Structure formats: C-alpha cells, structure tokens
C-alpha cells in the first residue's frame, strides 16, 4: 500500500520554501523522521513523516514553494499511524470532577449565613462546653478513624464554612512552635557526646581562623557570627544526611551559605583535607594555597561547587538545579537515585527577590528532591531582620502559600516540658506575641531579663518558671541549636514526597560569642576576638586547650586515633565521602562533523535571512547529530516565537514533568505546543533569572552530574547581562560551559521596540566577565564558524569558558565565506573586502553586526563617488581583540629589552594605509576598546544614548551610523588627517542633509 506525505497545517504561512530535502528515493524511514525543512521569512521547521515506510516517490525539490496539503513524497508499505494519534488523544487525562458520593450537596439547600466582611473570629470563648464538645469529637475521630480522616473532616467543615460565607481566620501560618511535636520526632542514631565535641572543635577552629587572619591584617575581614549560629544545622547534615558523590552514587548537592565558609574549612581541617598552613592562609589567595573568602569554585576548583555569597543567587540556582536534576532523570539521561539538593539561606537573605522568586515553581514542579534550610538568627548585617514582626512566621506563610512542606524548628528540647505543662496555651500565646526584636534582645541580655520580659508578662508564666534559676532560663535553647530537633526535621524532610521542604530554624547569631557578639546588632561584622573573648568561647564549648594555647590562638585538632576524628571520618565514609568536593567524570562530546555547518558557508544568493534564523537552522541541524542532539538544552523565556523557534516544540517537546494533560489548541499544526515528560526544550516563562539559573545548572552538569550538556539560552539581548549580570558573573565563577545568545541585538536593529528593548551595550557587560567569549557576527558563515568552535572548545576540549553571541532579526542575504577567513573570524577580525579603484586615499573601515553592512555600502559610495579606497574589516569580536591587545601590551612592557610583539590588530593593520573608522550598533566604547592596539588614527561611530522606537533607517540616521553618516564622517576624518580637503566632507554633510546643530544623541 502506498501513502502520501503531505504538508500539514503550518499555521499562518502560505507558500513557503523548501530549503532541505532530507530523504531520498529508496530510503526506509520511520514515523516522525524529518522529510523536508520549510522556511518562512521568520522561521524554519521540519516536516515529519506521519508514517513509516520506504520512500517510493519524491514530489518536491529544494526551492519549491509549498502550502498546506502539498504532496511531498510517497511511501511504500506505509502504515498509517492514525491509531497512535487516537490512542494518544485518549491518553490525555481529562480532569474528572470529584463527586462526593456520601453526600448530595443538592438535596438540602444550604443556609447562607449573613456575611459581615472582615469580621475576625472572636477571641473570647462564649460557650466553653460547646467548644469542649467539638474538641472531643475531633479527638474521637483521630482516635477511631485516624488523623487522615480527621484532616478530611476538618477540610470539609472549612470548605462548608467558606461556602456559607463565613470569614475565617487567616490560616497561612501555624502557631509559633515546632512543626514536629516531640512525640513524633525521630531520634538521631548518633553519639551525641562525640558529636557535641566535634561541633565544638569545628566552631573553635572556624572562629580561630578568622581571628588569626585579622592578626595578619584587619583588611582581610571574615565572619564568625554566621557560622556560629549555623554550626548545628551543618553538623547534623554532615554527620547523618549528606551523601557524597562516588562510584555508586551521584551525590547530594549542598549550597552552603557564603558567610559560613569558615565552618566548612574548619571541618575539612578535622577531616584532614585542609592543612593548618591553609587555615592560616584564609582569605590570602593571591599566592596559591590560600582559602577563598567565600565559596568560589573558580578559586578552589576541587572544593567548592556553588558560588553563593551574592545573596539570593543560591536559593534560585538551587531550585533550578533541583528542577534540572528531574529534567535529566525524566529525559532518561540520569538514573533516579533519590539525590537531594540542600540550600542554606540566611533569614536576611530572603529579602532578596531572587530568594523567594521561584518558590512557586519549586512547588509546581513537585521538587521533592529540594530542601531549603533557612537559618533564622533574626539578624542580618545592620540589625534585626524583622524587628517588629516574625521572620519565621512570615516565611512560613510564603512557603505554605506556595505549596511547600514547611518544618519549623523554633524551640529546643529544654522547652518541651514547659510546653507540655502549658495546659491553657498561655505559653504558646506569649511565644506568638513576642516580636523578633524582643527575641533578639533577650538572647543578648541574659536569663534574668528573659524571666522578666518574656515570662513576666503573665503571672501564670512567671510561676511556670519559678523553680528555674536564671541560668536555667538562659539555657532554654532555640531549635536550630538542638541537634535532636534538627535531626528530626532533616529526617522528615528526607522522607517527604510530592513537594519541596523548607526547614525554618531559629538560632542565635554569634551563638557562644558572649558579650563580644552574641545576638547583638554588630555581630555580623565581628571578626576579632580578644584574649578574654577567646577564653570565654573556649569555656562555653569546652574546647580542651590550655589558657596558654588560647592566648597563642591555636587550632584544636585531636589525634588521628581519637574517638572524635575516627567518628567523624567513619560518618563521612558511611555517607560515601567528603563534602564539599568538586570533580568531573563527564565524557567530552565529539564536536559535530564540518558538513553539519557546510550549508552556512555558502552564499544565500538573493534569499534573505537573519542571523537568528541561521542559528535556529544550525540548532535544527545539530539535532540530527547523534552525539550533540541529546545534550542540547534549548532554554527560552517565553520568546520562542519571537526567535522563530516554535518548530522545536513539536520536534523535541517542551519539558513538563506531568506530560500534557490537555489537547493543545493547535494540536493539528506542525509547530503545536507539545509538552512532554521527556521534552528537551526548557520553556521557562517570563523569568530571565530562572532561565539563567537553568542555564547555569545545565552548564555545570559536567561537574554536578558528570554529564556534559550543551545549554543554549536565547533571550532578548537587552534582558540578558543587564538583567542577570550577577548570575552571569556567578556562572563564570562556577566554570559554566554553554551558549548565551543575545537575540534581537543592536540598538538600531530591533527598530520598533524602543528604549527599554534596544541593546547597545550587552557586549561591554559581557567583556567584563573574564571567561566569557563574545562575538557580534554579521553573516551566517561567521555564526557557524563561531558556534562550531564554541562546541569544540567547551564541550569537546572542556575549556572553562562560555560563549555570548549576539544574533539579529534583520533579514539580508549572506555572502559565501571568504577563503581562509576562519582564523580571523575566531580571533576577532578579518579582511572582508578591499576597494582598490583609484588608490590615492585609503581608509580602514571596521564594522560588526548588522552595521557592518552599512559600512560595506558606505565603502562603495566612498569609492565610486569620492575616490576613497578602503579595506573593509568584519570585526566579529572587539572584546576578543582587546583581550589579545592587553596581553601583548603587557608582555611588551614587562620586556622592554625585547623586540616588540605585535597585537593581532596591529598585525592585521600594519601593511594597510589610512585611518581607522570603526562603526557598530553598540556604544562607542565597544569599538574604542582596540584603539590602543594600533598606531593609526582611530575614530568610532556608535549608538551612545537611549534607544527609541522608529524604523531602522531613521534610527541609524539618528545615531549617525547609517551609510550616509559613515561616508560624511569618513571624509571629515580624512580632512582632519590632512589627506583630503575639507570641502568633500562639507559637500557630503549638505548632500545627506546632516543637521550639524542636532544635539548629541546621549543628550536627547
């Protein structure tokens, strides 16, 4: 039986061109194999075969125009797969409303209670007997039918109350007590005595290294108070929960709070991974062997995994890391080993919009592999986090509202008997009413103060603690310092399924520092402890050092065969190795063969396209390369259609952990919105921070998951570095490898979008990141050469660089690659064309991006109308040229006796005549970067100033980068350089109606 393959519904397009025919007569093809590639003026898309079979006839060739229904080919023995579609449609789950069979809601008309808006529930119990009956009923249900039934009934009652119009009290928070009641706490199997000692030594050494560094110079800084508050939170994780990467397991990933770094070094010291010499070099990194101030993988590439110290980046990067781990699992690239991502966050850090900005995504994606631990020491740098409120309650509300599993760890075990004795709920009421500013003051001021201020408010509470000494009261601990409570919470977090967990732990900032920094507003800055403070700290944690040793500020490390060291090592052995540790076992990806890119090296003839389209076609081709295809991670923040990438939806699917529960509106179309569990595209929605976090997760998968991935994040270039600059910096630190594509680039190329959209400086921002390699190509062959080299350098040779490439949306035809241009394209400039007509006066004309084309047109005018010859340089990267120039200049300055080395710019220009005129769609400082590396007079034209909406022509005129301005300014340059009289320039200004009185664009 023979089957026809016809063009399916291709959306709004009629009569589109076939640019590739991907099958031959006689080919045996499978269902969904691409048959042809179609290209409209904006995007290209492959047409998949709806059947399997052998191609018996081909009805089209490259260049043919087709529309919906056009016959493409015939297949022999083709088996229609319509059934598959039917089954698939059937499989799309439909939401079935839940019908409560036990009760008919329609039979009894509901009595609507008269609603009085904003009336809160009464605080007084006007009928205690009735209240008691309700409570007894509830207890009876718990007793007889279990807690699940009790919760069901309560939910039912609550929804009845809502429907009846009752205004219920706010339920986003629970009382200010631990979420896990003491009876349900899972007990730690650890030896508490030994663990306490280990914790004390880690604390001591962490503080000591900071104090020592500041003896060398107070410039070095450091923080004691942060880790002092978090020590137990880390210690319990290290001893019991965090599994390291090894041959059998991928490893849990821990995002340490940046300011806690001394604690991690101190533990690694006890583990024997860091020497005393290194501890003594804390924050002295210039000569090798020092320890970096904060977690910086760039500086300690075998130790730190995640740069976290810029507040807010850790939490969101952690969320997208957990999501990316699920993505890898759902795409079948990694096994599901139950790995967890733990993210430590300061309570002050939650002020950052990035910290909480993606928590709803975490719940929506059901990231039960994610655990946040928020260390609520109630203080940030200057003072209380929420002096007048309660940060723990506020966070609980936000996380509960977003759908997280919230575990509050507020009170330590010493409070348990008091809470048990609190029959009337008065203690809980007091706990609820005290604000954080007071809680902080209480920990700064001692037991007597707590007795008066906290318990003293109510006589019953004062009575409750009457038999306790002030010291006993002072010892009433906070949950985050109680290893039992922390263990129980972590254990529950590990077991939890279906949503992410946040452990919100209450601690004391500068715990144990006493008068020198415990719970006082200046704790954060405390980095020096005098002798008295150190002796106090030693005594507080029973560190076995003599007074003399304390005065000498010695570290404490028990002998290798001591029970503490043996215990600590054994615990880590049981958990698979040390943490943190950074390594990579990823295999390189073989760069694709040249022929995948071959078509881009040829001229497009009359056919016009944008570099964005060229790039998308390249990616489509790469999806046919068996090595590269599975590793590509296209990341788009709701802009696929803008960039002509909608063809990817159907082809490789949009990642959706729950698959697709609906039939998309456009299901019949070729670019239908297909969501699938194994989808490859990360369609992030409108979140550049989120998309960038995804990109970083993918770009560092080689170390965090031992699999090399190729993330390609495409965005509006204006919403790139400018918006997510700090993430890009962190990506550099993390040694990310991947592509950032700044699409719709250029201040005059994006035309109609105006001031906030038109990018004239992203390359300058990119140039500030040392390991970011950036290009502004004009032609599709340049794009292809650059992209291929990026694949080779990053993913085959494993260089720790990442690429930023701008792509434009202006359609034009592309010439053939000049012979031998590859090297120059990659180095940053190459000779594109020469005008040698008259040969008297010459200029060096440089351009990049779409403005290179204005330069090319200007060169023609200059030659034909003014007798000025030119060399036209396509400058693919002013940034790369500058890097080369700086290095060469430095070497020359360091070696005044040697022959001068030449920069690449110099080498290109040395045998060429005339001044340089460089013109780009970016601010002048972009091209000015290479000014020092040539002896020639150098003039830049660029797009300094705010953008505005208009046509490309008008914008280029406004910013003075159109061909007319290039011609006129060039003539003026030649006059200034005394190579030509000034009348030519004057004539040109007049001819092109250039208004000399127009204000400079930066002032308009």
Residue 524, binding choice from ligand TPP, Mg ion, none, Cβ under 5 to 8 Å by partner class? ligand TPP
C-beta closer to ligand TPP: residue 311 or 363: 311
Q: Name which position in 295, 297, 346, 847 contacts Mg ion (CB under 5 A).
A: 346
Helices (H), 331-425: 353-356, 359-364, 391-402, 416-421
What track of x and - describes contact with ligand TPP for positions 252 through 281 (by CB under 6 A)?
A: -------x----------------------
Nearer to Mg ion, 385 or 979 (CB): 385
Could you tell me where the DSSP H helices lie in 67-117?
82-91
Is 225 a binder of Mg ion (CB under 5 A)? no
Q: Which residue(s) pair with 384 in the sheet?
A: 379
Give the Å distances, CA to CA, from 925 to 742, 763, 825. 19, 10, 21
- Binding segment for Mg ion (CB under 5 A), chosen from 107-115, 374-382, 471-479, 719-727, is 374-382
Which CB sits closer to ligand TPP, 3 or 379?
379
Q: How far apart are CA 308 and CA 693, in angstroms?
A: 12
- Our finding on whether 307 is near ligand TPP (CB under 6 A) is no
Quote the CA–CA distance of 996 and 989 in Å, as a whole number. 8
- Partner from ligand TPP, Mg ion, none contacting 381, C-beta within 5 to 8 A by type: ligand TPP
Using CB under 6 A, count the residues that bind ligand TPP. Answer: 19
Rg (CA), the chain: 34
Of 178, 330, 377, 671, the residue at the interface with ligand TPP (CB under 6 A) is: 377
Query: Is residue 52 near ligand TPP by the rule CB under 6 A?
Result: no
- Asked whether 908 and 846 are in contact (CB, 8 A), the reply is no
Does position 478 interact with ligand TPP (CB under 6 A)? The reply is no
Q: Which of 311, 502, 734, 785 binds ligand TPP (CB under 6 A)?
A: 311
612, 807 in Cβ contact below 8 A? yes
Q: State both tokens at 95.
A: 């939401």
Residue 226 engages ligand TPP in binding (rule: CB under 6 A): yes
CA distance 447 to 471: 6
Interface with ligand TPP by CB under 6 A: which range of 5-13, 282-290, 378-386, 961-969? Answer: 378-386
Is 444 a residue that touches ligand TPP (CB under 6 A)?
no
Token pair in block for residue 183? 């009876």
Closer by beta carbon to ligand TPP, 290 or else 346? 346
Residue closer to ligand TPP by CB (options 33, 351) is 351
Q: Is the distance from CB of 627 to CB of 704 less than 8 angstroms?
A: no
Q: Which is nearer to ligand TPP, 179 or 440 (CB)?
A: 440
Stretch that binds ligand TPP, among 308-316, 359-367, 630-638, 926-934 (CB under 6 A): 308-316
- In this structure, the number of other CB atoms found within 10 A of the CB of residue 780 comes to 27
Give yes or no for residue 379 binding ligand TPP (CB under 6 A): yes
Do 801 and 757 touch, CB atoms closer than 8 A?
no
Shortest distance, position 253 Cβ to ligand TPP, whole Å: 20
Q: How far is the CB of 690 from ligand TPP (least distance, A)?
A: 18
Count other C-beta atoms under 10 Å from residue 126's C-beta.
Answer: 7
Verify binding: residue 788, ligand TPP, rule CB under 6 A.
Answer: no
Q: Which of 381, 426, 601, 861 is in the footprint of ligand TPP by CB under 6 A?
A: 381
Helix (H) or strand (E) holding 345: strand 341-346
39 belongs to the binding site for ligand TPP (CB under 6 A): no
| Residue among 260 and 767 whose Cβ is closer to Mg ion | 260
- 377 touching Mg ion, by CB under 5 A: yes
* CA atoms of 792 and 589, how far apart (whole Å): 8
Q: How far is the CB of 344 from Mg ion (least distance, A)?
A: 11
Q: Cα–Cα distances in Å, from 286 out to 282, 293, 732, 893?
A: 11, 12, 19, 22
**611 is in the binding site of which of Mg ion, ligand TPP, none (Cβ under 5 to 8 A by kind)?**
none
To Mg ion, the closest distance from the beta carbon of 349 in angstroms equals 7
Nearer to Mg ion, 477 or 984 (CB): 477
Coil, strand or helix at 640? coil
Q: Is 384 in the site for Mg ion (CB under 5 A)?
A: no
309 touches ligand TPP by CB under 6 A: yes
Closest CB 180 distance from ligand TPP, rounded Å: 23
Burial label for 861, CB within 10 Å (0-12, 13-18, 19+), is middle
Of 281-289, 377-385, 911-919, 935-943: span binding ligand TPP (CB under 6 A): 377-385
Site track 303-342 with Mg ion (rule: CB under 5 A), x = hit: ----------------------------------------
Strand order in the sheet with 632-636: 682-683, 632-636, 710-716, 739-743, 802-806, 772-775
- Find all residues with CB under 8 Å of 713, minimum gap 6, and list them: 635, 636, 691, 692, 694, 695, 738, 739, 740, 741
Beta partners for residue 842, in sequence order: 869
| Contacted entry of ligand TPP, Mg ion, none for residue 501, CB cut-off 5 to 8 Å set by kind | none
**Of residues 500-539, those binding ligand TPP (CB under 6 A):** 509, 524
Q: Please identify which residue in 195, 252, 347, 683 interacts with Mg ion, judged by CB under 5 A.
A: 347
Give CA–CA dist 295/302, Å, rounded.
11
Joined together, the tokens standing for residue 114 give 């008269």
Is residue 348 a contact residue for ligand TPP (CB under 6 A)?
yes
The residue range among 305-313, 531-539, 613-621, 898-906 that interacts with ligand TPP, by the rule CB under 6 A, is 305-313
* Residue whose CB is less far from ligand TPP, 380 or 705: 380
Q: Of 346 and 915, which has the nearer Cβ to ligand TPP?
A: 346
Cα–Cα nearest to 333, from 706, 623, 660, 694: 706
Q: Is 885 in the site for Mg ion (CB under 5 A)?
A: no
| Cα distances (angstroms) measured from residue 426 to each of 181, 401, 408 | 17, 27, 20
Contact between 947 and Mg ion per CB under 5 A:
no
Check residue 347 for interaction with ligand TPP (CB under 6 A).
Answer: yes
Distances (CA, A) of 541 to 37, 202, 209, 800: 71, 10, 17, 43
Rounded Cα–Cα distance for residues 965 and 851 (Å): 12
Determine how many CB atoms are found less than 10 A away from the CB of residue 43. 24
Our CA angle for 808, 811, 812, nearest 5°, is 115
Give the Cβ contact number of residue 15 at 10 Å: 10
- In the DSSP assignment, the letter for residue 470 is H
Q: Which is nearer to Mg ion, 391 or 855 (CB)?
A: 391
Segment interacting with ligand TPP (CB under 6 A) among 309-317, 639-647, 662-670, 974-982: 309-317
Torsion sign, CA atoms 228, 230, 232, 235: negative
Q: Which residues bind Mg ion (CB under 5 A)?
A: 346-348, 377, 379
Q: Which residues bind ligand TPP (CB under 6 A)?
A: 226, 229, 259, 309-312, 346-349, 375, 377, 379-381, 385, 509, 524
């Amino acid at each position: 039986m023979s089957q026809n393959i016809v063009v399916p519904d291709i959306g709004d397009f009629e009569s589109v061109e076939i640019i590739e025919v991907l099958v031959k007569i006689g080919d045996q093809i499978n269902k969904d194999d691409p048959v042809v590639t179609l290209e409209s003026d904006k995007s290209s898309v492959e047409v998949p075969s709806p059947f399997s079979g052998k191609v018996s006839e081909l009805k089209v060739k490259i260049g043919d125009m087709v529309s919906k229904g056009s016959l493409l080919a015939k297949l022999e023995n083709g088996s229609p797969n319509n059934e598959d579609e039917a089954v698939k449609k059937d499989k799309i789950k439909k939401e079935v409303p839940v019908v409560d069979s036990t009760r008919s809601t329609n039979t009894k008309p509901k009595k609507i209670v008269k609603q009085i808006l904003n009336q809160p529930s009464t605080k007084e119990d006007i009928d205690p007997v009735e209240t008691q009956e309700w409570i007894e009923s509830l207890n009876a249900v718990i007793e007889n039918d279990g807690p699940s039934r009790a919760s069901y009934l309560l939910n039912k009652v609550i929804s009845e109350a809502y429907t009846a119009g009752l205004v219920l009290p706010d339920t986003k928070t629970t009382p200010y007590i631990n979420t896990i009641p003491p009876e349900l706490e899972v007990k730690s199997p650890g030896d508490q005595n030994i663990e306490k000692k280990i914790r004390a030594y880690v604390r001591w050494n962490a503080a000591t290294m900071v104090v020592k560094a500041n003896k060398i110079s107070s410039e070095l800084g450091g923080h004691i108070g942060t880790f002092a508050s978090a020590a137990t939170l880390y210690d319990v994780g290290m001893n019991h929960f965090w599994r390291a990467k090894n041959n059998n397991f991928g490893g849990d990933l821990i995002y340490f709070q940046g300011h806690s770094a001394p604690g991690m070094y101190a533990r690694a010291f006890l583990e024997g991974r860091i020497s005393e010499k290194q501890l003594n070099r804390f924050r002295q990194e210039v000569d090798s062997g020092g320890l970096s101030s904060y977690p910086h993988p760039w500086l300690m590439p075998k130790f730190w995994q995640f740069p976290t110290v810029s507040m807010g980046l850790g939490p969101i990067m952690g969320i997208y890391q957990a999501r990316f781990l699920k993505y890898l699992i759902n795409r079948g690239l990694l096994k599901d080993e139950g790995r967890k991502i733990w993210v430590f966050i300061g309570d002050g850090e939650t002020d950052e919009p990035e910290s909480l900005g993606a928590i709803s995504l975490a719940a929506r994606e059901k990231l039960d592999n994610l655990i946040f631990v928020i260390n609520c020491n109630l203080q940030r740098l200057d003072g209380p986090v929420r002096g007048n409120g309660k940060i723990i309650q506020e966070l609980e509300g936000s996380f509960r509202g977003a759908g997280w599993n919230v575990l509050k760890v507020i009170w330590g075990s010493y409070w348990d008997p008091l809470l048990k004795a609190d029959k009337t709920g008065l203690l809980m009421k007091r706990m609820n009413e005290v604000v954080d500013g007071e809680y902080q003051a209480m920990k700064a001021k001692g037991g007597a103060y707590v007795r008066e201020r906290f318990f003293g408010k109510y006589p019953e509470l004062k009575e409750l603690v009457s038999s306790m000494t002030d010291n006993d009261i002072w010892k009433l601990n906070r949950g985050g310092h109680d290893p039992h409570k922390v263990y129980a919470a972590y254990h529950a977090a590990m077991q939890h399924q279906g949503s992410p967990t946040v452990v919100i732990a209450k601690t004391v900032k500068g715990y144990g520092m006493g008068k020198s920094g415990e719970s006082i507003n200046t704790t954060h800055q405390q980095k020096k402890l005098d002798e008295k403070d150190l002796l106090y700290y030693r005594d507080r944690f029973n560190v076995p050092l003599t007074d003399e040793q304390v005065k000498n500020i010695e570290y404490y490390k028990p002998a290798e065969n001591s029970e503490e060291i043996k215990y600590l090592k054994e615990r880590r052995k049981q958990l698979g190795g040390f943490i943190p540790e950074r390594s990579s076992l990823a295999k390189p990806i073989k760069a694709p063969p040249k022929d995948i890119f071959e078509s881009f090296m040829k001229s497009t003839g009359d056919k016009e396209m944008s570099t964005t389209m060229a790039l998308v076609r390249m990616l489509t081709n790469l999806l046919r390369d068996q090595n590269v295809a599975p590793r590509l991670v296209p990341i788009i923040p709701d802009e696929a259609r803008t960039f002509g990438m909608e063809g990817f939806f159907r082809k490789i699917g949009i990642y959706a952990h729950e698959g697709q529960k609906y039939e998309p509106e456009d299901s019949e179309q070729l670019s239908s919105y297909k969501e699938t569990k194994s989808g490859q595209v990360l369609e992030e929605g409108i979140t550049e921070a989120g998309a960038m976090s995804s990109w970083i997760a993918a770009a560092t998968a080689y170390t965090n998951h031992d699999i090399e991935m190729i993330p390609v994040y495409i965005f509006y270039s204006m919403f790139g570095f400018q918006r997510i600059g700090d993430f890009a910096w962190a990506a550099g630190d993390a040694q990310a490898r991947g592509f950032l594509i700044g699409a719709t680039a250029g201040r005059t190329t994006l035309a109609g979008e105006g001031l906030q959209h038109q990018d004239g400086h992203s390359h300058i921002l990119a140039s500030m990141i040392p390991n970011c390699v950036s290009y502004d190509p004009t032609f599709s062959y340049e794009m292809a050469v650059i992209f291929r080299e990026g694949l080779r350098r990053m993913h085959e040779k494993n260089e720790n660089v990442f690429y930023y490439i701008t792509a434009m949306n202006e359609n034009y035809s592309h010439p053939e690659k000049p012979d031998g241009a590859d090297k120059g394209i990659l180095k940053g400039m190459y000779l594109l064309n020469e005008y040698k007509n008259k040969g008297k006066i010459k200029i060096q004309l440089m351009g990049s991006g779409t403005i290179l084309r204005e330069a090319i047109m200007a060169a023609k005018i200059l030659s034909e109308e003014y007798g000025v010859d030119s060399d036209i340089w396509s400058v693919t990267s002013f940034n790369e040229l500058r890097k080369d120039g700086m290095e060469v200049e430095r070497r020359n300055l360091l070696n005044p006796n040697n022959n001068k080395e030449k920069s690449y710019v110099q080498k290109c220009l040395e045998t060429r005549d005339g001044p340089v005129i460089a013109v780009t769609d970016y601010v002048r400082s972009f091209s000015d970067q290479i000014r020092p590396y040539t002896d020639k007079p150098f003039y830049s034209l660029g797009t300094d100033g705010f953008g505005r909406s208009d046509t490309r022509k008008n914008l280029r005129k406004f910013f003075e980068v159109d061909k007319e301005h290039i011609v006129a300014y060039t003539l003026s340059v030649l006059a200034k350089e005394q190579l030509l009289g000034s009348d030519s320039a004057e004539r040109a200004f007049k001819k092109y109606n250039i208004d000399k009185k127009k204000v400079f664009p930066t002032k308009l």
